[in-house]
Amino acid sequence: MTTPVRTHGPDRTAPAAAGAPPSEATVESAPAGATPAAQRPARRRSPQRRRRARRDALLFLALIAPNFLAIIVFSYYPALYNIGLSFFEWDFVEPVPEWVGAANYVDLFTSASFGQVLMNTLIFTGVSVVGSLVLGLLLGSLLATKVPFTGFAQTMAFAPHMLPGAAVGILWLFMFDPNYGLSRWAFSLFGADSPAWTTTSDWSLWSITIAYTWQRLGFVTVICYTAILDLPKDLYEAAALDGAHGWKLFRHLTLPLLSPITFFLSITGIISAAQAFDIISIMTGGGPGTSSSTLSWMVYEQAFQKFDIGSASAAATVLLAILLVITYVQVRYGEKKVNYDS
């Protein structure tokens, strides 16, 4: 009786198990000189591709360098130079400024007028930014509904922004005139006399705030109008099918979709309002006293009326710090609350 002999060598015809390493026979069976893909050296770029990449890099530098240089020369250098001047006393006459350390900041924070000027700045900025944003959203939504004479309405809405600040100030001086202006007629409808808007401390700050809000309203309205036209129509159709109309639709759909626009307008509005100068100069000159003076006007007054460059630089540095803090807080808040997925 013949017993079959079992061989103990591997069956070369059997398929390899999944995930098993290749056997020596498999490696040996590979063509001579072949290299696995993972071990192949990276292919070098051709000289033509290297020259093209170098040319593109030089072109990018040539385009960005003038802008970068302009930012350094006209933005960062003046800001740093102003911070340096805030530690000196200078009057435009002495050839060399005199080092006084932090004395300018001490005098600024302990002055009797700084608190009122700072409060005036906050009121002027907050009311003008919030007022122009709310009214701009309402007017932009109204224009987006295709009211009659939409083109004419758009032009009239944007017109205040196209006027220079000096012209806006002169226009509102006539409107606020208590004897002949529009204010006299409006108050007479209620049997009251028009206040002296620009010459009394109770009304001077509100006069420049109203004038500046009206000037910025045109810009905000046009931006909101164009943004509303670009909103996805299918979302409004779906909301209408669910019964959302009017204020409910505006509150829960339009406002969240416009959050990037309102975020942008709020930041630029705060920066612009904090730098407002021409309207204040034409209408009130910061007076009476300091009742309508803001930090920007205080910088001008200290530098070019009192020739105290150190105090002016200190006030400008404080204004810069406030704007940086507000912008930082807004950006951090915007990262969490602003909806960019529209």
Q: What is the pLDDT of residues 234-260, one digit of tens each?
A: 887 787 777 777 777 788 788 888 888
CATH number at residue 173: 1.10.3720.10
* Alpha-helical segments (H) within the chain: 24-29, 47-71, 77-85, 103-110, 114-144, 150-162, 165-175, 182-188, 204-229, 233-241, 246-249, 255-257, 259-274, 278-283, 295-304, 309-337
Whether 21 is covered by a domain: the verdict is no
Residues 72 and 125 in one domain: no
Whether 28 is covered by a domain: the verdict is no
Domain termination site, one of 33, 68, 99 = 99
Residues 94 and 139 in one domain: no
- φ, ψ (nearest 5 deg) of residue 227: -70, -40
- The pLDDT of residue 197 is 92
Q: Which residues contact 232 (CB under 8 A, 6 or more apart)?
A: 257, 342
Q: Which of 11-15, 217-221, 308-312 has the lowest mean pLDDT?
A: 11-15
Which whole-number Å values give the CA distances from 116 to 60, 107, 120, 123, 309, in the listed order? 49, 15, 6, 10, 21
Q: Which domain holds residue 332?
A: 113-337
Whether 104 is covered by a domain: the verdict is no
Q: What is the pLDDT of residues 145-195, one digit of tens each?
A: 776 777 777 778 788 888 888 999 999 999 999 888 899 999 989 988 889
Residues 72 and 187 in one domain: no
Whether 246 is covered by a domain: the verdict is yes
Domain termination site, one of 68, 99, 130 = 99
Domain termination site, one of 75, 99, 123 = 99
Q: What is the pLDDT of residues 5-42, one digit of tens each?
A: 444 444 444 444 444 444 444 444 445 554 555 555 55
Model pTM score: 0.77
Residues 254 and 290 in one domain: yes
- The pLDDT of residue 158 is 82
Residues 95 and 124 in one domain: no
Residues 60 and 187 in one domain: no
The number of distinct structural domains making up the chain is 2
Residues 220 and 317 in one domain: yes
Residues 55 and 202 in one domain: no
Whether 192 is covered by a domain: the verdict is yes
Which whole-number Å values give the CA distances from 110 to 28, 101, 103, 214, 254, in the listed order? 89, 16, 11, 35, 47
- The pLDDT of residue 338 is 64
Residues 88 and 221 in one domain: no
Residues 213 and 70 in one domain: no
Structure token pair of residue 214: 């009206």
Whether 30 is covered by a domain: the verdict is no
Whether 325 is covered by a domain: the verdict is yes
Residues 124 and 92 in one domain: no
Residues 65 and 204 in one domain: no
Whether 19 is covered by a domain: the verdict is no
